[in-house]
A and B are shown apart, each in its own frame.
Chain A
Amino acid sequence: MTSGVTWFCIGLTVGAYTLSRVVARRYPSPLTTPVFFSTVLIILVLIPTGLRAADYEGAKGILVSLLGPATVSLAVPLYKNRRALLTNTLPACAGLVVGSLGTLAAAVFVARVLGLPDVVRASISIKSVTAPIAIELAPIINASPAVTAAFVIATGMIGAMIGPWLLSATGIHDPVARGLALGTISHGQGTAQAVLEGELQGAAASIAMGLTAIFVSVVAPVLVPWLG
């Protein structure tokens, strides 16, 4: 039986998301990113009504059941942009392997130096994997799905904000290399940024996002416990 609370939470989530899309279009800024904005809005509504995270679980179960088909759909941009990959196989694969391993190792290392707790360290290691896959990968490596999702989205924002500037400053002008770096590190949000630079950058980013998710999903269960 689906309770009234669950229906209320589903309605609230759909409403908050719809509103956030409108706000993001009118006032584009990292703070109006739909995920961030909707989450804050929902929490602000839940707190005064006395509902807790546990009361939201029912709605979460129903809404997250659509995450599977949504992730499967990512095969479509991958398939459409296959030409960009086939003509740049070696630089693309080398870049995303080195880039995703580099960011994973750097994250685990810095987190350890700064003394972050275990669950945070595990969650931060996979923050460059696109959110739908990172959420499912999290329990496999003893990370928290919610914390991981927050890190993934924050990484997307950071990369989209500083990425284009940083790449220019370090002399990276090749369109495939730029798109690849943005997609590898900042997944969906990086891809959206790369699309603004050009079609080739966008295609490279979208391929890199998909392949990074595949690569990290395969290596993280072995690598993350080993890096500790």
Chain B
Amino acid sequence: MKRLLIVIAQLAGLLLVSQLGYAIASWLHLPVPGNLLGMLLLLALLATGVVRLAWIEASASLLVRHLAFFFVPITVGLMGLGDLFRANGAAIVITLTVSAVVGLCVAGLSSQRLASRRERRPS
């Protein structure tokens, strides 16, 4: 019971940070998702020690573990889009696969090259 109250209180805190993120985005007319600003705000609060990890950790890790749940209501919206996928299914799969392969290779090779250069340098 006490644990449940703690999780609810932490959830309220996270909701507050998230609402602040949305408010900042609309005040400043930033073309950036409000929830992203909320995430950066929480990161800044943790980094500066204003908020301690222990204050929010139980609730945050619960939400991260079940993050997938929050996408389900969005993907149900695909229900009305069956034709789009029937008409373009193969092209979509090719686009997704090719771009994933390009991205994985480019990201992996560039960071590996830079990492190994640094290791070779005597320190």
Interface residues of A (CB under 8 A from B): 13, 16-17, 33-36, 38-39, 42-43, 46-47, 52-53, 56, 59-60, 63-64, 66-80, 82, 88, 90-92, 94-96, 98-100, 102-104, 106-107, 110-111, 114-117, 120, 124, 127-128, 131-133, 135-137, 140, 144-147, 149-155, 158-159, 162-163, 166-167, 170, 172-174, 176-178, 180-182, 184-186, 188, 208, 210, 213-214, 217-218, 221
Q: Is the CB of B81 within 8 A of A16?
A: no
Q: Is the CB of A167 within 8 A of B78?
A: no
Q: How far is the CB of B102 from chain A (nearest CB, A)?
A: 4
Q: Is the CB of A75 within 8 A of B46?
A: yes
State the interface size on chain B (CB cutoff 8 A).
75
Contact of A111 with B114 at beta-carbon distance under 8 Å, contacts A53-B76, A106-B99 already known: no
Q: How far is the CB of A147 from chain B (nearest CB, A)?
A: 7
Q: Is the CB of A69 within 8 A of B15?
A: yes
Q: Is the CB of A68 within 8 A of B21?
A: yes
Annotate B62-104 by CB proximity to A: 1 below 8 A, 0 otherwise.
0110111111111111111100100010011111111111111
- Label chain A's interface by main secondary structure: helix
Which chain B residues lie closer than 8 Å to A162 at the CB level? 97, 100-101, 104
Q: Is the CB of A35 within 8 A of B71?
A: yes
Q: Is the CB of B73 within 8 A of A13?
A: yes
Q: How far is the CB of B90 from chain A (nearest CB, A)?
A: 8
- A64–B67 alpha-carbon span in the complex (Å): 11
Which chain A residues lie closer than 8 Å to B91 at the CB level? 111, 114-116
Which chain A residues lie closer than 8 Å to B46 at the CB level? 75-76, 79
